[in-house]
Amino acid sequence: MVPLHPVVSDEEWVEARIAFMELEREHKAATLALAEKRRLLPWRKIKDDYIFDGGPLGKRSLVELFGKADTLFVYHLMYATGDERACPRCTSLLDQFQSMKLHIQASGLMTFAIVAKGEYPSLMKAVGHNNWIWDIYSAAENQFAEDFGVTKGGGLSSVEGKYDYVNDWPGGAEGPANLPGISIFKKDGEGNVYHTYSVYGTYLLEFVQYNFMFDLTPEGRPVGSPEMSFLKHKDKYPYPQGEY
């Protein structure tokens, strides 16, 4: 049978692998250079002291979400009041982030929070089964989701109605009410809050640890539309005794 892929001797395999390392070094250098340029982007001062509903955590302002850290990582969860479940790609990504949150937030380097437009009781009914250690907040009573462009019709004044600043809202008038994103905030010594960066849409898939794993395999990332369409809510998988 003819192999599906070139098969070589041990010596040739090692030679090819060592040669490929140069491309990997170039990729790493480019990634670090891009991260440095991202850190040099300008900030914008947040003027609205948004109040969020954290259920048992109480009502908290944006500055209070920082806790002991001066950097805040917010995941804009794709969820609207009344939805039975949140987006499975969102929840899968948050499952992955959870272990990192445990270490990073405990160190005081950064605080993590989930914020969704849905009302808190409805939101928790939809995500409570995920066994998360996340701090989860509702932005139903403020304009946070609109101002950060993750609710239909929202966005900053110069890009109102756009998603990811340059794209028309997916699906137009018939599209989803809310979409996902990540926003980063910084707090200074006087309690002023600054928006430093946001990322949305398919760019979020670059944070998916599955993709790093698939990129190491001969098959690569699974093909599908939408991307990562194989994902389910984790309680939908056949775990032994139904536990996960």
Task: Render pLDDT for 34-73 as a digit per residue (tens, 0 to 9).
Answer: 999 999 999 999 999 899 999 999 999 999 999 999 999 9
Asked if residue 30 lies in contact with residue 37, where contact means CB atoms within 8 angstroms, the answer is no
pTM of whole model > 0.95?
no
Average pLDDT of the segment spanning 24-39: 96
CA–CA distance, 44 with 116 (Å, rounded to integer):
22
Domains along the sequence of the chain with CATH: 44-203 (3.40.30.10)
Return phi, psi of residue 234, to 5°.
Answer: -65, -20
Query: Per-residue pLDDT tens for 131-182?
Result: 788 899 999 999 999 999 999 999 998 999 999 999 999 999 899 999 999 9
Positive or negative torsion for Cα 21, 27, 31, 36: positive
DSSP symbols for 27-43: HHHHHHHHHHHHHTS--
Are the C-beta atoms of residues 136 and 128 closer than 8 Å to each other?
no
**CA–CA distance, 55 with 127 (Å, rounded to integer):** 13
What pLDDT is stored for residue 76 in this prediction? 96
pLDDT at 1 > cutoff 60: no
